[in-house]
Chains A and B, each alone.
Chain A
Amino acid sequence: MASATHSLCASLASNCRVLHKQNPTFPSNSNLHLGFLSSSPSLSSRLSFSPVFSPRHTFHSLPKISNSEVEVADSEPVEAVVQSEPNGSDPESAEIVQASSEVPKREEVFAVVMIGSRQYIVFPGRFIYTQRLKGANVNDKVLLVGTRTTTYIGKPVVTNAVVHATVEEQGLDPKVIVFKYKKKKNYRRNIGHRQPNTRIRITSIAGYQDYPAVTLDS
C-alpha cells in the first residue's frame, strides 16, 4: 500500500520509476486490464507517423525504438526550478550526460491520456498495453499534462497537446480460462480466451505549452 512514493516534484536526482512500466502492471493496484505480453516478439505491424511534425524532431525519420530511446535520453532533468519547460528544447543538445544527476530513462513530463475509453498515465519512452487499435497513432484526448514544475489540468482536455506514440506490437493477453459450472445440473463449460491488445511505445508529449490554465507549483 503506497509503499514507494517517489513524487515527481520531489528530489531532483531521483529516478522516478514508480509506475514500473517495464512490467506494465502498477505496483499494488489498478490497470487490471493490462497483462504481460507473452506471445511472439515479432515487430510485424509497425505503423508510425506523426501528423504534427515539429522541426525539433530531427531523429524522427526512422520509426525504430532505439531512436526513440535516444531521443528520450537526451533531455536531462534541469536543476533550476526557474526553467519551467525542461523538455522539448533538448533533442538538439545531443547526449549531454550530467555528472550531478543520473541519466533518467524518461523525461520529467507525464500526461494522462484517454485511449479506448480508458485513461492511462503516460511517460515518454515507456510502453503501455491498450486495447487493440487499428492504426491511428496520435492520441487526441490528453486530459492532463504535468511536468516537474507545472501542471496543466484540462477541462476536460488540454488543447493542442499531443502525445505521439508508435505501435510496437499487436499481441494477445495471457489466457484466461472461463469456466462455467452449475452444480447438480451436469453443466460445465470450459472456454479459453485471449483478448487482443496492442503495445504502444510513447515517444513524446508536446504542444501543451501556452495552455491558459497553468497552475504553477513549487
Chain B
Amino acid sequence: MNKDKIFKLAKGFRGRAKNCIRIARERVEKALQYSYRDRRNKKRDMRSLWIQRINAGTRLHGVNYGNFMHGLMKENIQLNRKVLSEISMHEPHSFKALVDISRTAFPGNKSSVVPPRKEGLSIVL
C-alpha cells in the first residue's frame, strides 16, 4: 500500500514526519525530489573532490594542479581525475612518476609552488 511505502521511505526523519502520514508524505516527496537533484550534483561534487585531492598530491611535489594537468595533456596521458586522485592517495610512487613526467613536459612551475619549508624539528629529520 502506498502508506506503507511512504513510511518505509520516511525512516529516520525527524519528529512527526516519520509517524504521521500527512506530514510524512510531504517530507518524503521532498526527499525524493532532493535525491533526483542530487544524483546530478553528486557527479559535480565528486569531480571537485578529485581535483582537490590531486591538487594536494601534486603540491607536495612542487607542482600545482593546473600545470600538472597541462603537462599530462601534452603527454597524451588519458587518465581521468578519479583514477588520478586514487593513485595520488594509494600509490605515491606511481604518482610521483606522473608528476615528473608532467614536469618535464610542461616546466612552468619554478616559481609557482615551493614545497613547504621545514621548521623546527623537521629540519633535522
Q: Using CB atoms and an 8 Å cutoff, list the residues of chain A in contact with chain B.
A: 2, 5-9, 16, 18-19, 26, 29-32, 110, 112, 114, 119-121, 143-144, 146, 151, 153-156, 176-181, 188, 215, 217-218
Contact = CB atoms under 8 A, between A and B. Distances in A.
B122 interface: no
A29 B35 contact: no
Contacts of A7: 90-93
A32 B82 CA distance: 11
B77 interface: yes
B97 A179 contact: no
Contacts of A180: 36
B94 A217 contact: yes
- What band does the interface of chain B fall in when counting residues whose beta carbon is under 8 Å from A? 20 to 34
Contact of A143 (B53, B78, B89): B78
A137 to B, nearest CB: 22
Contacts, number: 98
A147 B98 CA distance: 15
Given A119-B79, A176-B39, A179-B32, A30 B90 contact: no
B83 A179 contact: no
Contacts of A9: 91-94
B76 interface: yes
Contacts of A6: 90
Contact of A119 (B29, B35, B43, B83): B83
Nearest to A149: B93
Given A121-B87, A181-B33, A217-B97, 14 more contacts: A8-B93, A26-B86, A30-B50, A30-B85, A112-B83, A119-B79, A119-B83, A143-B77, A144-B94, A155-B77, A156-B76, A181-B29, A215-B100, A215-B101
